[in-house]
């Protein structure tokens, strides 16, 4: 099989290098990752997993928005207190 040279960012190279062993080539690492992440059977295992849990997407979105709004309010409040204490 032929080969092709590609350019990758240093971060991508270091990531692949961390997954590689002496007995594997970079091509082996990439192909293993492809098989692990994108194979049809892995995706189908989760198909329909939530169908019997009565979870409404709109309700989940509302809950997440409320959580984020409350979290941001707490962060702003904490930042104000910290700034006041810093200035004392």
Tell me, what's the pLDDT at 81? Answer: 92
Domain range for 85 is 51-88
pLDDT digits (tens, 9 = 90+) for 34-72: 777 656 666 666 666 666 566 677 888 888 999 999 999
Whether 42 and 3 map to the same domain: the answer is yes
CA atoms 28, 29, 32, 33: torsion sign: negative
Whether 43 and 56 map to the same domain: the answer is no
Whether 5 and 41 map to the same domain: the answer is yes
Whether 2 and 38 map to the same domain: the answer is yes
pLDDT digits (tens, 9 = 90+) for 19-33: 888 999 989 988 887
Nearest to 74 by CA among 86, 62, 63, 82: 82
Whether 21 and 57 map to the same domain: the answer is no
Whether 3 and 40 map to the same domain: the answer is yes
Whether 4 and 37 map to the same domain: the answer is yes
Q: How many domains does the chain have?
A: 2
State yes or no: pLDDT of 74 exceeds 70: yes
Tell me, what's the pLDDT at 42? Answer: 64
Tell me, what's the pLDDT at 50? Answer: 60
């Amino acid at each position: 099989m032929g080969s092709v040279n590609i350019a990758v960012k240093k971060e991508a190279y270091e990531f692949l290098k961390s997954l590689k062993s002496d007995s594997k080539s970079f091509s082996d690492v990439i192909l293993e990752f492809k098989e692990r992440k994108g194979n049809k059977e892995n995706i189908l295992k989760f198909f329909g997993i939530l169908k019997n849990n009565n979870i409404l997407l709109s309700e989940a979105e509302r809950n997440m928005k409320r959580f984020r709004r409350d979290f941001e309010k707490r962060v702003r409040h904490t930042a104000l207190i910290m700034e006041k204490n810093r200035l004392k």
